[in-house]
Amino acid sequence: MSNLPEKINSAVKSSGVELSKAEAIAANYAPFMEQIAAQSEIVKGLTLGDPKDVEKAKRVRIDIGKICSSVGEQKTKDKAEVLVVGRFIDSLFNTVEGYGRLTQSDAKEIETHAEQIETKRLSDLRESRLAELVEFEGIEPMGVAAMSPDVWGNYLAGVKVAFTAKKEAEEAARVAAEQVAIAEQARLAEQAAENVRLKAEADAREKVIALEREQAEAARKLAEDIAAKEIAAANLKAKAEADAREKLEAELKAKKDAEAKALADIAAANAQAEADRIKAAKAPVKIKLTKWVESFELPTTDVDNETTKEIAAKFDSFKTWAKSLIEKQ
């Protein structure tokens, strides 16, 4: 059969099944191969890394899954009808299904490429932000890569302010210590120097405490926001998984029901045919011949004249004569 796809035609030639019969069965699979070939052409037109092609790739993957399911149903039907060519049908199924799954895999790669790029972007963003923090803070804040640019800017500014305040406090403490030393050398100025030192330390502590309080509050709010987003994402993921599981179970049940019905229909048809054959074999010869004569019919015509009427009458006479001849046996 010259119009079969090349892969199907190759399977026909190597099947070992009588050519016309093999081609008749293979014709059932040609439409599926053409559908997958059309999907393959779509995938060839997509670009890895192009965001606008992700949805197209996903659609191709889903459509090919449906096509492959239909191929499976066709395989079951053909094997039930013609068991002797089961291995040939398996070969056709594997050829089409393998081609479809290969194309589906290509589509899946395009579909998931965007997710991989986003994961790498977040990883790179985390590394760059930690590099900015290392000079001022040695602890990685929770969800550093998930912060929006504004939140990150505010957080980094707060860390820098706290770092500067700490350095200023350390410097103030150093200056205060020097003043204390000088005050000890000048006993008359000792009390004044001590007051300066104590005031500087108190101011520094108050600034550090205030900044630490602001930083803790910002971290608490950030943690609450991240936790809320994580809970929402987890709920969405759980719902999507439940929906997908429910859909898959429904599809599997429908497929099993269809296969069971097909097998039952075939068994009923075979039983009826056998019953008819047995009944016909037992029928007397006269009954068989009478039914044969009664099955004769004269084709209709739009000509209505004496000739057609005479022909019809003689045809009826012929049937009557034939029945009487049968009765004489």
Q: What is the pLDDT of residues 248-271, one digit of tens each?
A: 888 888 888 888 887 888 878 787
How many C-beta atoms lie closer than 10 Å to residue 200's C-beta? 20
d(CA 41, CA 34): 11
Alpha-carbon distances of 108 from 54, 57, 58, 97, rounded to whole Å: 9, 7, 7, 16
pLDDT (tens digit, 9 = 90+) per residue, 82-93?
Answer: 776 567 778 888
Nearest CA to 156 out of 131, 128, 132, 126 is that of 132
**Token pair for residue 164?**
């500067």
Instruction: Determine contact, residues 326/290, Cβ cutoff 8 Å.
Output: yes
pLDDT (tens digit, 9 = 90+) per residue, 176-223?
Answer: 888 878 878 888 877 887 888 898 888 888 888 888 888 888 888 888
Alpha-carbon distances of 173 from 94, 162, 208, rounded to whole Å: 80, 16, 13
What is the per-residue pLDDT for 184? 85
What is the per-residue pLDDT for 291? 92
Pick the more confident residue, 102 or 137. Answer: 102
d(CA 216, CA 147): 16
